[in-house]
Structure 1
Amino acid sequence: MEQSNLAQQQCIAVVGTMSSVILGFRGELIKAMVQAGHRVYAFASDYTAETEAAVVSLGAIPISYKLGRFSLNPFAELLSAVHLYRLFRQYHISMTFCYFAKPVIYGTLAAWVAKVPVRVAKIEGLGRAFTIGPNGDTIKRKLVQKIQVALYRLSLAKAHHVFLLNPDDRKDLIEHFGIVTGQLHQLNGIGVNLAHYARSGPPEQSIRFIFVGRLLEEKGIRYFLAAAEQVKQKYPQTEFVVLGEPDGKHGVSRKQLLDYVERGIIYYPGRVGNVVPHLQNASVFVLPSYYREGVPRSTQEAMAVGRAVITTNMPGCRETVKHGVNGFLVPAHDQNALEQAMLQFIQQPQLISSMGEQSYRLAQQKFDVSKINQQIMQVLQLLPATLPPEQ
């Protein structure tokens, strides 16, 4: 596949799902693209006047499009692709940068039909279709996985560049299923702004474990709650904090969560706009996820603040922890191993600071968003041309 000359200004469509993700996780990349002189259109399916204004403040142009995040209706998906095709043509898009499964699949195919010169796909984990729950595999999951693999096989062949966040995804998706793609590139993660997630020493008065993320079954919230209950019985002074929105359909409901609050097991402050103060007030970050992550952003944020980590030895999650150095890796679905890892920090509190320091160093090395964005910009030839020195 031939690419156009990227020395000139590009009209880039950054295509995702929710506007909150555009702002929270793509803001730094969009700013870098704009500062390099490119015109950036930020595509999302749930814009409000407030989030549109926030995107404009980044220097980008918000574009709404139709997408059913959880829909399996093929006609609805086809309409989404047609809508994207028309928008790409309308705005004379010269490069598409699609992330998450549905935008990657339908956005890349729409861009190919629209003859967009450069098509980029970013796969941030393999998601629910590749996630096996505590009760084992299901026929439904296998069927959804087959459909998703078939769609990836169709769409990724039309992408000029494919970014992956962990080596397991490459092994499973590319090598195991034999999917042919454009040029493959490995990133460490999406990265965080280290200046925003300011490093601080952990609190010395009490030991506090924190869970941050969507309160979904796959993210391990029930394992965290069960561990909190058990550990509290042995060490009542230990504190447990939960940040995230309840999801009664795929996780814990607000009612279930408040039951743990009323029994004094967890502290739940509700929806928070800024997680940094809560991370700074915590001792250890815990993510017992069995979801097929890319590289969890929440863990990167905790590491930037300088927090030790307990997470699972799962794809994506294991990229954030050197076992015994900056935290502990435990097997997925192993309740006892999770509790034992927590107890190790309680019984050896000196590990909280020493491992937290190692987390911060690892964040500097691997998860600095400016370095990751620089890598993306270089691969896509989006950096501004260097002018020759004056004679």
Structure 2
Amino acid sequence: MRKILILANNDVGLYKFRKELIEELLKNYEVYISLPYGEFIPNLKEMGCKFIDTAISRRGTDPFTDLKLFSFYLDIIKKVKPNVVLTYTIKPNVYGGLACRLAKVPYIVNITGLGTAVENGGFLQNITLFLYKVALKKSSCTFFQNQENLEFFKKKSITKRKKIILPGSGVNLQDYSLLDYPSGKTINFLFIARVMKEKGIDQYLSAAEFIKKKYPNTAFHILGFCEKNYKGKLYEMQEKGIVEYHGMQKDVKKFHIHSHCTIHPSYYPEGMSNVLLESAACGRPVITTNRSGCREIVNDGVNGYLVSQKNTHDLIEKIEKFLTLSNEAKKQMGIEGRRKVEREFNRQEIIKIYLDEINSVLK
């Protein structure tokens, strides 16, 4: 049986956003997955994947650690002898791509966002782009999740090989079905993300403090892993009744049931926001940043609102605008969001594109 090797940096994204693709691949291929051990690895192994425990320093910049990763990928490729390799996120893309190029194995790359190293510019950006240029020189195809990322790579002449835009990871429309819209007196807002500066948590907390004082019948919920420097602030604001912090949640759907709107003021350089896709699929209006990876999911004023990044005043204005809508108008916004996801972000369409590319490579 032919073999496919998948290089990724975490189990959560691989299982939650690419499970359906892996299920399809397992019908015709042996599937090997190389990534650090995590709570979803047993699920992936149960599906039939062969797991290779791989240490990755996701945000580290130590060249010796990265050299070890490159060497490890080379060893994996020699042992597994895959027919094609799929890579996700910066380090697997770069060091996996380099290893594939050296081993002369076909590989398909997915740019899941530019990452802060590229977004922030400077020396680190130059190094990262140089590595990308070398790594993607022989790629069979490079997938991008938004037009802006693709244009950036074109402008920087990173790769002249085949490039395709995917609508992110898409949504499983059965898993995230259209929910009844809540009719309670309290309007619930949801923030679902890692609690960190670049995800817009400061803007969300400031807006919550202002809105809660002016509109007591509102509730601001936060779901996600909290970085240490925000824990104290969250618990302090929770004690004051401004926010409700629920920690990291495996299943966010139960929170969407009671939510009226998802607020995602992120300015993190992501490819396509899965938080927004899943919220819209559930029939929830969204308020998010007017930047790539977020704006593609919102028709402003139709299924949500766009705000300027890092702009708390604009965020407050859009929340107030949302609060003035009737419950029926809010519900209709959510329905429009569901329709948009069905038209543009169905995960099954993404799987077809992947399978077509893999088949093309293996002909």
Q: Is the pair's TM-score, using the shorter chain for normalization, greater than 0.5?
A: yes
Identify unmatched segments of 5+ residues in structure 1. 1-8, 133-140, 386-391
Answering whether residue 182 of structure 2 is matched by residue 218 of structure 1, we say: no
Retained in 1: the 8 A contact 2:153–2:159? no
Give the conservation status (yes or no) of the 8 Å contact 2:226–2:247: no
Residue 84 of structure 1 and its aligned partner are, at CA, apart by 0.7
Q: 1:78 — aligned with what?
A: 67
Q: Paired residue for 2:234?
A: 257
* Residues 131 and 264 (structure 1), Cα distance of their counterparts in 2 relative to 1, 3 Å cut: farther
Question: In the alignment, which residue of structure 1 is the partner of 2:164?
Answer: 185
Q: Residue 336 of structure 1: which of 313, 319, 323 is its match?
A: 313
Change (3 A) 1:278 1:348: same
> Which residue does 2:338 correspond to in 1?
360
Residue 198 of structure 2 aligns to a residue in which SS? helix
Question: How is 1:1-391 mapped onto 2 (pairs within 5 angstroms)?
Answer: 9-35=1-27, 37-45=28-36, 47-48=37-38, 51-116=40-105, 118-131=106-119, 141-174=121-154, 176-205=155-184, 206-248=186-228, 252-349=229-326, 350-381=328-359
Once residues 247 and 308 of structure 1 are traced to their aligned partners in structure 2, the CA distance between those partners, rounded to angstroms, is 27
> Relative to structure 2, which stretch is displaced further, 123-132 or 254-263?
123-132
Secondary structure of the residue that 1:273 maps to in structure 2? coil
Mapped partners of 2:286, 2:361: distance in 1: 35
Q: Which residue of 2 aligns with 1:389?
A: none
Give RMSD over aligned pairs.
1.7
Q: Aligned partners of 2:60, 2:239: CA distance in 1, in Å?
A: 36
Return the offset for 1:383.
12
Instruction: Tell me the TM-score normalized by structure 2.
Output: 0.95
Query: How much does 1:382 deviate?
Result: 7.5
CA distance in 2, matches of 1:215, 1:239: 18
Aligned length: 361
Q: CA deviation at 1:380?
A: 2.0
Contact map agreement 2:30 2:49 (CA 8 A) in 1: yes
Instruction: List structure 1 runs of 4+ shifted beyond 4 angstroms.
Output: 382-385
Structure 2 distance, partners of 1:362, 1:239, is: 27
The whole-number CA distance in structure 2 between the counterparts of 1:131 and 1:290 is 10
Which whole-Å CA distance do the structure 2 matches of 1:41 and 1:301 have between them? Answer: 28
Residue range with higher mean Cα deviation, 162-171 or 144-153? 144-153
TM superposition score normalised by structure 1: 0.89
Structure-1 separation of matches of 2:115 and 2:301: 28
2:133 maps to a residue whose letter is R
Report the CA distance between 1:375 and its aligned residue: 1.5
Residue type at the aligned position of 1:27:
K
Partner amino acid, structure 2, of 1:277: K
Deviation at 1:115, TM superposition (A): 2.0
1:92-128 per-residue CA deviation (whole Å, 9 max, x = no partner) reads 1111100101100000111111221x11110011111
1:384 deviates by 12
Three-state SS of the structure 1 residue aligned to 2:343 is: helix
- CA drift at 1:147: 1.1
TM-fit CA distance, 1:78: 1.0
Aligned partners of 1:383 and 1:265: how far apart in 2? Answer: 54
Residues 140, 361 of structure 2: 8 Å contact kept: no
Question: Residues 219 and 131 of structure 1: is their aligned pair in 2 closer, same or farther, counting only changes over 3 Å?
Answer: farther
Q: What CA deviation, in whole Å up to 9, does each residue of 1:348-367 have, x standing for no partner?
A: 13431111011000111122
Q: CA offsets, 1:146-185, max 9 Å, x none?
A: 11111111111121110000000011122x2112242101
Take 1:374 and 1:171, find their aligned partners in 2: how far apart are those partners? 24
Q: What is the alpha-carbon distance in structure 1 between the residues aligned to residue 304 and residue 361 of structure 2?
A: 36
Q: Does the aligned pair in 2 maintain the 1:160–1:181 contact within 8 Å? A: no
- SS at the partner of 2:337? helix
Question: Could you tell me how far apart the structure 1 residues matched to 2:359 and 2:297 are?
Answer: 29
For the Cα contact (< 8 Å) 2:276–2:297, is it kept in 1? Answer: yes
Name the amino acid aligned to 2:58.
R
Deviations 1:203-243 (A, max 9, x none): 11121111101111111111111101001111011111100
Helix, strand or coil at the partner of 1:253: helix
Q: Is the 8 A contact 1:219 1:290 kept in 2?
A: yes
The one-letter amino acid of 2:292's match is P
- Decide whether aligned partners of structure 1 residues 144 and 379 sit closer, same or farther in structure 2, where only a CA change above 3 A counts: same
In 1, distance between residues paired with 2:80 and 2:362? 22
Superposition deviation, residue 10 in structure 1: 3.0
- Shift of residue 65 of structure 1? 1.6
